[in-house]
Amino acid sequence: MEMASEHAREDGSGFSVQLERNDNDMYRSFVITRGFLQSSSYTLKERLRFTRDTTLPSESNSGKTYPLLQIGMRVRRHSFFWIFSVVVPLFFLTTALATSFVVNEDEFADRASITLTALLAIVAFQPVIADRLPDDCNTMTLVDLYVFICFAF
């Protein structure tokens, strides 16, 4: 299957972009993923997806549109990694707060020190989690929600 796109520049010169689907397994597009640094957290699929598009006129100072090639890759997050490196430690930190109720209520300083220590540990844990998330992750993930619930508890 062949997809072609013809574009004409305002100066009169034309250019074309053609993407051709390759069904031959011997020449499929792929990426070598062995050197991926966060392979303990994510699995990268080796196949790539190419999509033909054009830029918006508002994205150019001259108001022109240009051909755009988008390259997509599937990424899968390892759930066991997040459970054992984020959820379980935060669960133990949050349940450690219950030990402050065991301390006699007359000993306010001891109760406050247990609570503040656990609270500071949860706050210090947030940058560790943020470093593991993608940079352009603007939405609240389930991990973020869990950390917020632990912090609120």
Q: What angle do CA 112, 116, 117 make, to 5 degrees?
A: 115
| 52-89 confidence digits (pLDDT tens) | 888 888 988 888 888 888 888 888 877 787 788 888 88
Contact between residue 103 and residue 132 where contact means Cβ atoms under 8 Å apart: no
For residue 150, pLDDT beyond 50: yes
Contact between residue 41 and residue 132 where contact means Cβ atoms under 8 Å apart: yes
Rounded Cα distance between 11 and 69, Å, is 23
Going by pLDDT thresholds of 50, 70 and 90, the confidence category of residue 125 is confident
DSSP state of 18: E
**Average pLDDT of the residues of the chain:** 75
Percent of the chain, pLDDT > 70? 77
Nearest Cα to 87, choosing from 134, 132, 142, 37?
142
Rounded Cα distance between 55 and 68, Å, is 6
Going by pLDDT thresholds of 50, 70 and 90, the confidence category of residue 124 is confident
Going by pLDDT thresholds of 50, 70 and 90, the confidence category of residue 137 is low
pLDDT of 90 = 84
For residue 8, pLDDT beyond 60: no
Rounded Cα distance between 26 and 144, Å, is 42
For residue 94, pLDDT beyond 70: yes
Q: Write out the E strands in 55-110.
A: 67-77
Q: Which long-range contacts (CB under 8 A, 24 or more apart) does 23-30 make?
A: none
pLDDT of 12 = 40
Range among 7-21, 27-41, 115-129, 138-152 with highest mean pLDDT value: 115-129
For residue 15, pLDDT beyond 60: no
